Amino acid sequence: MKSINTSAHMPTEIEVENISKNKIKISAYPFEAGFAITLAHPLRRLLFSSTVGCAPIAVRIEGVTHEFDSIRGMLEDVALFIINLKNIRFKLKNDADRAVLNYSFTGPKEIRGVDLNNDDVEIVTPDNYFATINEDAELNFSIIVEKGIGYVPSENIREDVDAGYIALDGFFTPVKKAVYEIEKILVEDNPNYEKIVFTVETDGLITPIDAFKHSMEAMYAQMSVFQGILDIKVETNEVEVETSIEFGKLLQSIEDLNLSARSYNCLDRAEIKYIGELSLMSEVELKNLKNLGKKSLEEIKQVMEDLEFPVGFEFLEDSAEVLKNKIQDLKSETNEG
């Protein structure tokens, strides 16, 4: 085999083995040494963090004011009731992103996942135990189920649900297991090539193969930002920086965005006055603004995308600096006025 190459070997083989209904094994090979883990590790992370799932994000129980309360006639206290609820996996019907589900049960009854099926949701874990109520008990409760990705702590959900609901941690990912092994494989006379063996298991909300496809799509989408490197002009071995961005829209007041009162007031309290300031911020910086809830975050992001200057816009360095200086000048003029 040739010892000096001008490009990495391209893997050509892929095998998919169905272990069970919700579990598969995917093998791909042969990779150059080091290439297998370079691809496998981010794919594993994306399987957990980018696969869309459904989860209960809040619950309201008649006669209950907090999660440490108890319910007359029910075997479980509220804390255990909530734990059992999180273990039940919901699938929203009709391509809905959110549903408010209302339930009423009278005893005696042992309630399981299958009992929560209705016109809005399908329970993909029908045998999971939920609660037991005795003969003189009545249990009335409502659940809010939403689509999402990854994990969202309850403190980030609390302000987005109505009073009387107990906010829950949102465990959205339908991927229960995603592990990989890197094996050595012989190619001609070279034993240093590699093989990736992925094992993927889901909760039934999505098939393992679809979850794997979605993680690859997410990887491609994230990497597409580097397509911008093709637009950089090179002249005499130096990068020619373009600063010809039209700043007109970006120097307008945030009042021109016609945001909801909650979103506008939050930005105003943070002393964000101009549209360009939002484009200069990263999504993490925006999310960390005090009292900015999930709905307000999504509203601001959507409005900025519609302007074609989204939050975290990829300005070239000189353009970003020019914009910062123009905004600072405007703020100084306002303060002097």
Are residues 74 and 165 both part of a single domain?
Answer: yes
Return the pLDDT at 20: 94
Q: Which amino acid is at 157?
A: I
User: How many domains does the chain fold into?
Assistant: 3
CATH number at residue 271: 1.10.150.20
Region 138-160: what's the mean pLDDT? 93
Q: Is residue 8 part of a domain?
A: no
**Cβ atoms within 10 Å of 254's Cβ, excluding its own:** 20
pLDDT tens digit sequence for 170-184? 999 999 999 999 999
Does the pLDDT value for residue 236 go beyond 50? no
Tell me, yes or no, whether 120 and 135 share the same domain.
yes
In a domain, 1, yes or no: no
- Residues 53-94: pLDDT tens digits? 999 999 999 999 888 999 999 999 999 999 999 999 999 999
Distance in angstroms (rounded) separating the CA atoms of residues 62 and 309: 46
Q: Is residue 2 part of a domain?
A: no
Residues 6+ apart with CB under 8 A from 207: 22
Are 94 and 160 in the same domain? yes
Nearest to 292 by CA among 112, 160, 171, 194: 160
Could you tell me if residue 5 is inside a domain? no
Taking 50 as the threshold, does the pLDDT of residue 240 lie above it?
no
Give the three-class secondary structure for 127. coil
DSSP 52-106: EEEEEEEEEETT--STT---TTBSS-HHHHHHHHHTSPEEESTT-SEEEEEEEEE
Maximum CA extent, the chain: 86
pLDDT in tens, 241-273: 444 455 678 888 898 888 988 888 899 888 999
Give me the pLDDT at residue 336, please.
Answer: 62
What span, in angstroms and rounded, lies between the C-alpha atoms of 328 and 310?
20
Query: Are residue 154 and residue 61 in the same domain, yes or no?
Result: yes
pLDDT of residue 27: 96
- 43 and 182 part of one domain: yes
Alpha-carbon torsion 68, 72, 77, 81, what sign? negative
- Could you tell me if 60 and 166 lie in one domain? yes
* 44: exposed, middle or buried (Cβ count in 10 Å: 0-12, 13-18, 19+): middle
| End position of a domain, from candidates 171, 198, 216 | 171
Same-domain check for residues 141 and 71:
yes
